[in-house]
Amino acid sequence: MSLVLPLVRTAHPAPALAVTVLTLLLAASMGVSTYTAVVLFAAVLSGQLVVGWTNDLCDRERDRRVGRSDKPLATGQISVGVVRSAIGAAGVVCVLASLLCGLGAGLLHLTSGVGAALAYNFALKSTVLSWLPYSLAFGSLPAVVSLSREPAALPPLWMVAVGALLGFAAHLLNAMPDLADDAVTGVRGLPHRLPPSLVPSVAALTLVAASVVSVFGRRTPPTAGQWILLAAVLVLAVAATRTTGKGPFYAAIAIAGVNVVMLLIG
């Protein structure tokens, strides 16, 4: 039991659970069967565990250099061997569960979802293309869910576009708390090449674009509820670009929440 908490913390549990819950909500909105929803849950959660564990495994030396006491691998609370074993076990579950969702859905999840995230961890994190794995992973998620249905079908293009924009913004917001530490250790992804004060505004504007696509990208005219949500997004976007301190970050997070609601009611 002494290894359980450090192992959970190393897996980046908050984003892992967020992506898994989003997948289940998408599955419910698309009418996926209970069995398929359970398999999707296993596939996505295990994939997120692999991604989180490999991320901290790749960053352990950088985390030591900046004194990250919240990173069990950096502090020695858990060994590299234990994390590698966990990655192997979760990887097996991820492959099997993904393929049980259907060949198309499974291969898409393993490549554009987990594969793209691993490419970020091992190669793209410190490049100008650091945003690409996030956009691929989030953009492909509606397609993974849709292709797992019976009969399998591709989702509408607007839904894929909204997912990709959400992924881009998620990358910016996820990088924000670590910009200073990353600068010390030489990480130079896209967010690090922007002025720090500009990052939340770019994230907010990206999320506004996602909202516009969500409302106007459908074949049906916008409903009153969608107009209200879009108005809320615009108000929050003004807050993100005009406030200081933590205000822009929280406003961008709120816009992301509204975007998720828009995606689910599609």
Q: What is the pTM of this model?
A: 0.91
> Does the pLDDT value for residue 136 go beyond 90?
yes
Label each residue of 95-123 as H, E or C: HHHHHHCCHHHHHHHHHHHHHHHHHHHHH
Give dist(CA 19, CA 115) in Å, integer: 15
pLDDT at 259: 87
Question: CB-based contacts of 243: which residues, under 8 Å, 6+ apart?
Answer: 251
Q: What is the mean pLDDT of the chain?
A: 92
Q: How many CB atoms lie within 10 A of CB 194?
A: 15
CB contact at 8 A, 209 and 161: no
229 vs 266 pLDDT, higher one = 229
Task: Evaluate whether 139 touches 164 at the Cβ level (below 8 Å).
Answer: yes
Please give the structure tokens belonging to residue 102: 């259907």
**Per-range mean pLDDT, top range of 2-11, 130-139, 190-199:** 130-139
C-alpha count within 13 angstroms, C-beta hemisphere, residue 137? 28
Q: Verify cis geometry, omega within 30 degrees of 0, for the bond prior to 13.
A: no
> Is 201 a residue whose pLDDT tops 70?
yes
> Does the pLDDT at position 76 exceed 80?
yes
Q: Which tokens belong to 170?
A: 């998620």
Checking if the pLDDT of 183 tops 90, the result is: no
Q: For residue 168, which amino acid is it?
A: F
Of 141, 171, 154, 153, nearest in space to 260 by CA:
141
Cα dihedral 163, 165, 168, 169 sign: negative
Q: Which residues contact 84 (CB under 8 A, 6 or more apart)?
A: 57
- Give phi and psi for 186, each to the nearest 5: 85, 15
CB atoms within 10 A of CB 184: 10
**Residue 115 banded pLDDT, cuts 50, 70, 90:** very high
Q: Is the pLDDT at 181 greater than 70, yes or no? A: yes
Q: Among the listed ranges 156-170, 200-214, 229-243, which one has the minimum average pLDDT value?
A: 229-243
Q: Give yes or no for a contact between 36 and 44, defined as CB atoms under 8 angstroms apart.
A: no
The answer to whether residues 55 and 86 touch, using CB atoms and an 8 Å cutoff, is: no
Percentage of residues of the chain with pLDDT beyond 90: 74
Q: Which of 11, 121, 122 is nearest to 73 (CA)?
A: 11
Lowest mean pLDDT among 45-54, 170-179, 220-229, 246-255: 246-255
